[in-house]
Structure 1
Amino acid sequence: MKRVLSVFILSVVILALLPLAAEAATLTARIDLSSQTMVVTHRGKVKYHWKVSTGRRGYYTPTGSYSPKWLSKHHRSRKYNNAPMPFAIFFRGGYAVHGTNEISRLGRPASHGCVRLDPRNAATLFSLVQREGFKNTRIIIRK
């Protein structure tokens, strides 16, 4: 019983500290799945507000708070017909924030699970992540 209580208390503490980790980041990209938008905060100031496309019906965009794992400027999908994924910022396995050539679909779910951006916005975010570093960047995805 003591162990269960200890695990519960530790879980509550960790969940309480997650927002603090995001606040400690110098660069934060907050994706809202319900509004299909991203708000980019850099050094405490909102810098950008962009339309995105996330997972369409039958596909899943993971929620949570992530740090980038790796970057690929000219990536192509191995899973989806060699589709271009310019300025890809991978944050969980094969999931990434990246540019798309389907700009007209931004603002509504249209992807296989990645977070799609206008390529110009993806390039801007990519550059900011390179400059600030993975440890100082948070990608936060909420419903």
Structure 2
Amino acid sequence: MFRYVLAIVAGLAIVPFQTAIAGATTLMAQVDLSRQEMVVTHRGQVKYRWKVSTGRGSYRTPTGSYSPKWLSKYHKSRKYNNAPMPYAIFFRGGYAVHGTNEISRLGRPASHGCVRLDPKNAATLFSLVEREGFNNTRIIITQ
């Protein structure tokens, strides 16, 4: 699962460090639409269980397995009146996992298709994605 690589640090020393082999998933965010819950697994250990809000009515959250495509820490929706989308992790077109200021609606469908989290939880996930990298992160959304 991991390999050791020798790296030259500041041109002076050679030190080993661990790097994930290409394609190894070290971070998984699994969203269960029926339970309105996200389970975050990091390096094989369940680290967090958070309430989410996903697509309501005809606004469906896409199911499937995705890698993050891009990040935006202070994103605002161009489509929905500049609605704040802090710590946005875009995974398919305009769909993202992001923080919301409508915390009281977490635990039930309320979005236009995105996966909403408490902003503190979104910040935690955002930081993990930055650290682990897009290729080592999977966002899995199931019914």
TM-score normalized by the length of structure 1: 0.84
Distance 1:88 1:68 in 2: 10
1:117 corresponds in structure 2 to 117
Gaps spanning 5+ residues in structure 1: where? 1-22
- Structure 2 matches for 1:18-57, cutoff 5 A? 24-57=24-57
Deviations 1:52-84 (A, max 9, x none): 000001201000000000000000000001000
**2:121 & 2:57 partners in 1: Cα distance?**
25
User: For residue 107 of structure 1, what is the aligned residue in structure 2?
Assistant: 107
Superposition RMSD on alpha carbons, in Å? 0.9
Give the match for residue 136 of structure 2.
136
Q: Secondary structure of 2:121's match?
A: helix
In the TM superposition, residue 24 of structure 1 has moved relative to its aligned partner by 3.5
Residue of structure 1 equivalent to 2:68: 68
The answer to whether residue 111 in structure 2 is matched with residue 81 in structure 1 is no
Letter aligned with residue 118 of structure 2? D
Q: Which has the larger radius of gyration?
A: 2
Structure 1 runs, 4 residues or longer, greater than 2 Å off: none
- Which one has a larger percent helix, Structure 1 or Structure 2? 1
Query: Which amino acid letter does the alignment assign opposite residue 71 of structure 1?
Result: L
Aligned position for 2:18: none
Give the whole-Å Cα distance in 2 for the aligned partners of 1:86 and 1:136: 22
Counterpart-to-counterpart distance in 2, 1:109 and 1:97 = 14
Task: Kindly indicate which of the two structures has a greater share of residues assigned to strand.
Answer: 2
Count the aligned residue pairs: 121
Ranges in structure 2 where 5+ consecutive residues have no aligned partner: 1-22
| TM-score, structure 2 normalization | 0.84
Which string of whole-angstrom CA distances, capped at 9 and with x for unpartnered residues, describes residues 13-55 of structure 1?
Answer: xxxxxxxxxx931000000000000000000000000000000
* Structure 1 SS opposite 2:40: strand
Task: Give the AA of the match of 1:122.
Answer: A
- 1:70 and 1:116 mapped to 2: Cα distance? 17
Aligned residue for 2:55, secondary structure, equals coil
Counterpart secondary structure, 2:80: coil
